[in-house]
Chain A
Amino acid sequence: MKFQIPIGPQHPALKEPISLRMTVEGEVIRDADIRLGYNHRGLEKLAEEKTWIQNIYLTERICGICSHSHATCFVQGVEKLMEVVPPKRGLYIRYLVAELERVHSHLLWLGVAGHEAGFDSFFMYTWRDREVVMDLLEMVSGNRVHYAINTLGGVRRDLDAGQKAKILEGVAVLRKRSEYYFRIGASEPSFVARIAGVGRLSKGQAESLCAVGPTARASGITRDVRKDDPCAVYDEMDFEVGTADSGDVLGRVVVRVKELLESYKIIEQIIRKLPEGPIAVRAPRKAKPGEAVSRYEAPRGENMHYIKSNGSEKPERLKVRAPTLANYPATIEMLRNGFIADIPLIFAAIDPCICCAERVVTLVDVRSGEEMAVRLSDLRRRAAGRGPNALPKRNAAWPL
């Protein structure tokens, strides 16, 4: 018996709305389809109406978890357009925050992977330890989530000696914990049984479907913007690109843990090598006409911003490509012939950030959302009124 299971737009495994439609036979998935558009905020259009400075904060809000990555990617590009070269110390602090953010994102992902596999203790412990790096980020930047440390021409906050010592301390704790989680993750039998061999993606498939980030690296592709297109700081750092050949969820766990350990290495190097000097230079308000392509290795994979300027205070066009969107075609391939039980794991393994991937249509922005109190009875009446004459989402018929 073939039937369709709707995963989303509202589903406990998805922290954000997206619609996956699985055609299953018994417990085996035969086909998968993906439908986006539930989380659009029209950022690309909005960016054309905001100044360069305002856009830093706008791009920061593309994603909550890797907020620094989009802002950095944007700032890198705009600095190129403005022909501003930030001072070394500023760059070092910028990429220090970037690596701390990578640590926080990967620890978060480890917990989520544990949760999706029903391993809640693992989830609780990793998230407990993630608080260490969250506190460090809060100390450095002044906020836990939106660090807002980037500005055109450098960063906004300096590091003092006490903060440096605290970061080193925190990193030492985290390294020990990460190594422990690696051992647990690789030796708890029920966990390994769930993730080994699940969601396989061969190297050829990963290449042709343009997968990025840990998803691609777990399939043996050594693509990492930090190595291939090193911006400013990374070519002075000693680190390796973590890869795995198995191409399954276990491989993606391994890649992320390896990246965690490399990030600790980079953070320590940055702190040790941190040069003296100013943290920012003044940037002009207008950029020269031109275009720039900016790439940045976010925790989930490569970010790419295409920025076009027309010489005014505002960008002519800002194209944002978030890593999650690039990984969707690969995800569909991974889901095929898997089990229903593997859907959350496979989907979580690309570390999806749906609000990153969707940012295009202007539907409702923060200010226009007209609020009103809706009584439950009203809601029910509306739902009943929707009935047969309302326009459903395509393919959204209830399958039974």
Chain B
Amino acid sequence: MSLGPEASIKEESTAPAADAADDRGGEKAIAGRSLKQIAWRRLKKDRVAIAGGIVVIFLIVVAILAPVLSKLFGHPIDEYHIDQIDPTFSTPIGKFGGISREFLFGVEPTSGRDVFSRILYGAQTSLSVAFLSALLSTILGTTFGLAAGFLGGWVDAVISRIMDFLLAFPQLLFAIALVSVLPDSFLFFGDRWSRVFVLVGVIGFFGWPYIGRIVRGQTLSLREREFVEASRSMGARSGRILFKELLPNLAAPILVYATLIIPTNILTEAALSFLGVGIPPPNPSWGGMLSDAVTFYSIDPMYMIIPGGMIFITVLAFNLFGDGLRDALDPKAR
């Protein structure tokens, strides 16, 4: 769990997942696909979750439109505005970190670069890393979890062992170490995106056991379920059982935990950037901005509050939405 204390995912991994699944499976078994509708109705009722969802969507849009927005309301992320900086103190001349009509979120100490644009591009980085690594964890987690739970035997033994092992790893340390030794740029990607993929690889890789464990547990409980037994007795091939019977029933929990892993990933990405192994300069990242702020936070708090606040809002939004989704799909966990 040492992906920083931020690893709030642990909560979900211990929440009554298995029994919850039983209900769910049960509900499904009886009520067929009506579960989707039930869940959707519940979700719609959950104002907070919807609000979270809206913020999330907003952030995604902002991230995608970053170039446009910064053209319209900001300045290029690597454009210096030394005139905005007090030479002796290297802090912004203007009040509140130099916030003005010209610089909506103020300017960066020492360089006078536009914080607004840097926040936008930071959003791009954070979100893409978070989503992609969540995707990676989910794919790995589901594959291995299913394999372990369904095939059982030595496969299960090996996979579970690996998962325990990975969880016994001082992960943050390793993430730092790995990121710092992995190549800065590869393939045809620029150094920004190749670093993004490195981060995705590392975070996603250390993230899969959480999903893996859950999927395994659910598979085990589902495996013994009547409808699976039934189709097996009717001589269904494993493949069919796997994809026609198990996966549909696993969809809900997987969806929930994939959603809930995203905020954790955002925090991890920020942590890594904070510790100086994030996106290479001049490309901005929220964590990186925070670590720059360390020198100045007592005299220029704005420069700390803005990226910190962004991280907070983003993660909160995802958590709210994720919780809502879980509650909707799994009333028992309320």
Q: Tell whether A and B belong to one assembly.
A: no
Interface of B toward A, CB cutoff 8 Å: none
Interface of A toward B, CB cutoff 8 Å: none
